[in-house]
Each structure stands twice: as C-alpha cells, then as structure tokens.
Amino acid sequence: MDCPKAHLVLRNANVITLELRHPRARTIYIQGGRILKVSSKDISRDQAGPGTRVIDCAGKTVIPAFHDAHCHIPAYAESLLNTDVGPASVSSIEDMVVRVKEAAAALPAGSWIRCAGYNEFYLNEKRHPTRHDLDRATTAHPVKLTHRSGHAHVLNSPALALAGLDNESEEPPGGMIERDLETGHPNGLLYGMGNYLAQRIAPAGDNELDAAMTRAGRVLLSLGITMVQDASPGNDMARWSRFIEWKRKGLFAPRVVMMFGAVELDSLQGRQPFYDKATGLGSGAVKIMIDEVRGSLNPPQQDLNRLAADIHRRRLQAALHAVEETTVEAAALALEHALREAPLKGHRHRLEHCSVCTPAMARRLARMGAGVVTNPAFIYFSGERYLSEAPPYQLKSLYAINTMLEAGVRVAAGSDAPVANPDPLKGIYAAVTRRAATGQVVTPGEAISALDALKLYTINAAYSCFREKQTGSIAKGKWADLVILNGDPLQVNPEELKHLKVEMTVMDGEVVYSEAI
Ligand SMILES: [Zn+2]
C-alpha cells in the first residue's frame, strides 16, 4: 500500500491532544499543513522517509497552538511603537512628564508622541493626567496618552487643537469631554472617543504600522499563538483590505479572523463566517459595543434588540461587548429577543468579556446557546485593583468562569491585547489559581482545572469562530499548529504555570518560532 510520508515528525513527546478518546500521545506525523497521524507508539519507518525532518522532543510537552479569541491586532502592533507609561514604567504623573520629555527630545517638533498603558489607579496622584500636565512636557509636539483600557485618552494642547476640540465642541455619541471648571475648555481628558480621535488625528504612518505588524506577529508566535480573532469595533472594509495586504505581503504571520463592526452590516450580506487557509484570513462575528454612559445604556435596549435581531436574521454571528452586570443583562435580553423572533440552533452568538456573570445569568446564557469570550489574564494583570475597587456583589461574580462552565456555557479566552499582555500562559495561570501578579487571590471559588483552562485558549477558541473541525486539538486531518512547552501544564504545581515557556511553535506544519534560534 502506498503510504504517505510525513515531512515533519515530532517524536518522543508528551502530547496533550485535547481529544477525549486519546488524550495523550507520543508521536505526531505532519504532512504539508496538516496532521497526518497521531500515535502512542514511537516513530514508524512507514511514515518517515529520507526527506522527513524529525524533531526529538525529549519528553517535552506538546499541546495545540494557542488561539486568542479576542484581541485588537493593529492597536497591539501600534502599542509596540508607543512610549510605555504603564504601571511597570511610571509610578506618578511626574514620571510620565519625564518620559514624554525624553520622547520629545528624540523627535522633531510637530511629530506625534504616543504613550500608552497609563492607569490612574497606580499613579501616586490617584487621578488622570490632564493637558496641563502634558503641556509641561512639551507644547512643540502633539501628545496622545491612551489609558490601559483603551476607553480614555488624554491630549496635550497642540493635540486637542489638531483634533479640533475646543470650548465649542460637542460630545460625539457615547463620548465625554472633561472640561476646566472656570473656562469650559477641554482639560484634555476624553472618554469613549477612541474612534473619534482615530478619524481626526494622524495614526502611525503606513510603513511604521507595517513594521509594527510584523513585530507583533513575531511576538505572538513566540508566545505560541498561531491564530487570533480581531475584535475591533471599528473594523470595516478598509481595515479588511489592510489585513488582506498584510497577509498577502507576509507581514503578519498568525492566522487572522477579523470581526466586522456593526456599521458594515449591510456590506456583509450573505457572508457567513469563513476562513481561507490559502490567505490565512477569514471573517468572523459582527461586533456590537454595549456600554453605559452616564448611567444610560448605549445603544438603548430597543436599538440593541433591533441590531441583534438584524444580525441574527442574516444568519451572521453576533459578538456583544458587555462588561458590567447591566450591559451583560442588556446583551442577554437582546439575544433572547432575537431568538424568540427566529429560533435557531448553532448560532454561536457570543458575549465578549462578560466580566460580571451571576449563576442565574450563566444559566440563561447556556439555555439560549450563547458563548462567552472572557479574559482570565485580567485577574493576573489587574486583580489587586479589582479587590480594592469592585463592590462585593461584583467581586462575587467577577470572571465567574467556573460558574459559566458548570452552567454549560462554552467559554473561550482572549487577551484583549493591547489592553493586557497577550501571553496565554498568564491567563491559564490566573484561571487556575485566581492569583494576580501581586499574589492576591480574586474570587477563588471560580478557579478551574488546568485542562479546562487550556481549552479556553485552544479548542473553545476555535469553536467560538466555527473552526473546531480544523484546529484547537491534535488529531488526524487538523491543521498542524502545535506548541512545545518546557513543562506539562496538567502536571506541574499550579504556581509553576506562570513560569512555563514556549520553546517552539509550529504553524501550518512549519517551525515558525524556536527558542534556540
Ligand atoms: Zn476588546
């Protein structure tokens, strides 16, 4: 019998397949971009020929490659160009002024200085900076400071002028302009105006962004991530064309599923979620942002219901951004409304973040078949802030992953990068231990097993964009996307999970990252 030969074999490996019937294996045969065979025996001569590359894993652990089910890739790439003013780099507004001064000294007058990652909670002054602070650093350069959440920005005076914001400016829908009490002039602090600013002030130049995308792709592969879902609400046809270009030119290596913002709904007619293996690009859910501005729901419930029903009727997948209990409730109501109107199984509508989820809400979501894409790594990166700021009733249901899984909700994980670092192992650590980087424990009753945590970043992430038949576990015929780890996440002491390292990443049957190189 003519037996196909593998071009790559991983032997002597401790393989965690995430397949129910054969959870462990020893050898993986790969041909082209796919897994040819998974075996519990050592390498067989039949399937390896003289041209076969054999990697001896020396007993190390092989898992399916990671999949980030919710992130913002171009923004993450841009963040790599930014001056970091996050808690790791500055501890006061004064430090921040020094960092901006340093950046200004290195750039010609008039060029933009972009800083990111600030978080007022960690600043000695315990307040947001204003334009007055930034003007002390420079008035010869426009400065844009982005909050860690991405939902607040601070501009200095030249940047405010370039953005066309002055005493007369009206707030765009969903936005809020803080003002000096006496003069009414904007004090530089802006909430919910990310899109407004993106349209008005110079983004990174194309070449600059191209280079940053390449860097971002390499960082993700080094973290074992071979697939991402871009969840940016502003994603439109222009962004789609950019992604096609980045993929065609080979500038961004990981596989991409791009969600579209609801504004593009009409152009998506008849376009079901898909993924094209040849280009490495696909389109995913339709993103709806739900937030609360000054205590009222945006968009209002009726509009939200209409939008969700519209997406549902077109047989598209809805992804509703809902963080707080009230917005999660609004998202659930909207989906229940849509499903009542047109019952459908297998829709896979999903809630993004669902940061506060009571047991009753988890049961409702399970009943209607809605999934959740949440962010365990937020516990690692912001856990101590939650403990000091969140009211007890919220803390009780914060990132309630165990409650959701027990209720039968399909839960996947995303990093929300650049909001948090994209390293999945930090998220897995936090999902299992519920510990922040500082060691504090957040809602320990919501801890889950390492196996379930691994699934959030692999098979469940694949399911969240209809790709579980192609990826997310190690099985014959699936894409050959694998990661070699320096330890077994299911065996190590949970405290060790955060120290695990990706030693090699294989994507589409090729070694795309190796620690040794
Ligand atoms: Zn997001």
pLDDT above 80 for 272: no
Q: Using one digit for the tens of pLDDT, what is the confidence trace for 225-253?
A: 999 999 998 999 999 999 999 999 999 99
**pLDDT confidence of residue 203:** 64
pLDDT at 517 over 90: no
DSSP for 251-273, written as a single string: ---SEEEEEEEGGGGGGGTT---
Q: How confident is residue 186, by pLDDT bands cut at 50, 70 and 90? A: very high
Q: Mean of the pLDDT values across residues 396-402?
A: 97
Q: Is the sign of the CA dihedral 182, 185, 189, 192 positive or negative?
A: positive
Is 60 exceeded by the pLDDT of residue 1?
A: no
**If we measure between CA atoms, which residue out of 35, 31, 32, 34 comes closest to residue 15?**
35
Which amino acid, residue 124? N
- Residue 318 CA to ligand 1 center (angstroms) comes to 14
**Residues in Cβ contact with 186 at an 8 Å cutoff, skipping those fewer than 6 apart:** 131, 160, 165, 166, 167, 169, 177, 178, 179, 180
Span from the CA of 401 to the centroid of ligand 1 (angstroms): 18
- Stretch 359-388: mean pLDDT, rounded? 97
Kind of pairing, strands 6-11 and 48-56? parallel
- Report the DSSP pairing between strands 281-289 and 255-261: parallel
Question: 236 CA to middle of ligand 1, Å?
Answer: 16
Give pLDDT tens digits for 49-102: 889 999 999 999 999 999 999 999 999 998 888 888 999 889 999 999 999 999
- What is the CA(487)–ligand 1 centre distance, in A? 30
- Indicate whether 46 pLDDT > 90: no
Task: Look at residue 70 and give its three-state secondary structure.
Answer: strand
213 CA → ligand 1 middle, Å: 18
- Determine the distance separating the centroid of ligand 1 and the alpha carbon of 362, expressed in angstroms: 21
Check residue 364 and give its pLDDT: 98
Predicted local distance difference test score (pLDDT) of residue 312? 96
Q: Residue 59's pLDDT is what?
A: 96
Q: What is the pLDDT of residue 204?
A: 67
Q: Determine the distance separating the centroid of ligand 1 and the alpha carbon of 192, expressed in angstroms.
A: 13
Taking CA 404 as the corner, what is the angle to CA 400 and CA 409, rounded to the nearest 5 degrees? 150
What percentage of the chain carries pLDDT values higher than 90? Answer: 81
Ligand 1 centre to CA of 288 (Å) is 11
- Cα dihedral across residues 163, 168, 171, 177: positive or negative: positive
141 — pLDDT class (breaks 50, 70, 90): very high
CA of 332 to the centre of ligand 1 (A): 18
Centre of ligand 1 to C-alpha 329, Å, is 18
Confidence band of 290 (pLDDT split at 50, 70, 90) = very high
pLDDT bucket at 271, cuts 50 / 70 / 90? confident
Give residue 2's pLDDT.
56
Distance 148 CA to ligand 1 centre (A): 12
Mean pLDDT of 320-336: 97
pLDDT at residue 202, rounded to an integer: 67
55 alpha carbon – ligand 1 mean position (Å)? 37
* CA 72–ligand 1 middle distance (angstroms): 7
> What is the mean pLDDT of the segment spanning 333-361?
97
